[in-house]
């Protein structure tokens, strides 16, 4: 009996969740049309997805969890396969917040990888149009800091961007009053 319960739990864990999406009411749609859309800046790795490549499995995903998609890229003339795990409910999240915000992906990853992953996440919905990659970052002692001025030159005059990232230390200097950050922590 115990084995049956374990099998049922394991098969249930990988079942897709179905959501019933309700369209915005006419009043809500009208109100949203009256205000200037804000920008939501989303980090890619460890925020929207987890990934690892052939040579380097990582402990960010429970072993045995099937990946959602594979991205094949060539880096320094070497083919590399990345196994990508979407965060739970990320597609639903993107569908909903894209109604309220202009979505921007800003990752410190290489463009060849980041663009391929963002294309898969967008999945033809055309909601992740603005994208910034490693070349838009500032090198910082062996790491990369996201330069938010790449998104809009004057953050004080721009529509206030909201940022979802797992690590605010990589966001670089910015006027505190212009940017709100949500740091996402997962157990």
- Three-state secondary structure readout of 131-173: EECHHHEEEECCEEEECHHHCCCCCCCCCCEEEEECCHHHHCC
Active site residue 95: no
Average pLDDT, the chain: 78
Angle formed at CA 89 by CA 69 and CA 72, multiple of 5 degrees: 15
Active site residue 43: yes
CA distance 21 to 143: 40
- The pLDDT value given to residue 2: 55
Strands 143-146 and 180-183: unpaired
Q: What is the mean pLDDT of residues 172-181?
A: 45
Q: With 0-12 CB in 10 A as exposed, 13-18 as middle and 19+ as buried, what is 76?
A: exposed
Q: 5 pLDDT exceeds 90?
A: no
Q: What is the mean pLDDT of residues 122-143?
A: 92
* Domains of the chain, CATH where assigned: 35-57+65-159 (3.40.50.1000)
- The pLDDT value given to residue 184: 46
pTM of the model: 0.74
Q: What is the mean pLDDT of residues 146-160?
A: 66
Q: 128 pLDDT exceeds 90?
A: yes
Q: 147 pLDDT exceeds 90?
A: no
- Nearest Cα to 166, choosing from 87, 55, 74? 87
Annotated catalytic residue, options 45, 102, 119, 154: 45
């Amino acid at each position: 009996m115990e084995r049956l319960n374990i099998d049922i739990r394991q098969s249930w864990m990988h079942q897709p969740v179905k959501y019933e999406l309700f369209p915005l009411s006419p009043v809500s749609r009208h109100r949203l049309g009256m205000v200037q859309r804000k920008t939501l800046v989303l980090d890619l790795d460890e925020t929207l997805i987890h990934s690892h490549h052939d040579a380097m499995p990582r402990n960010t995903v429970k072993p045995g969890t099937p990946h959602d998609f594979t991205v094949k890229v060539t880096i320094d003339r070497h083919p590399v396969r990345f196994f990508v795990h979407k965060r739970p409910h990320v597609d639903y999240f993107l569908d909903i917040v894209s109604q309220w915000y202009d979505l921007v992906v800003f990752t410190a990853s290489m463009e060849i990888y980041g663009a391929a992953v963002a294309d898969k996440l967008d999945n033809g919905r055309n909601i992740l149009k603005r994208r910034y990659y490693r070349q838009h970052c500032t090198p910082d002692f062996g790491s990369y800091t996201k330069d938010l001025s790449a998104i809009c030159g004057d953050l004080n005059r721009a529509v206030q961007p909201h940022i979802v990232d797992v690590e605010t230390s990589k966001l670089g200097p910015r006027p505190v009053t212009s940017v709100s950050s949500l740091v996402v922590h997962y157990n």
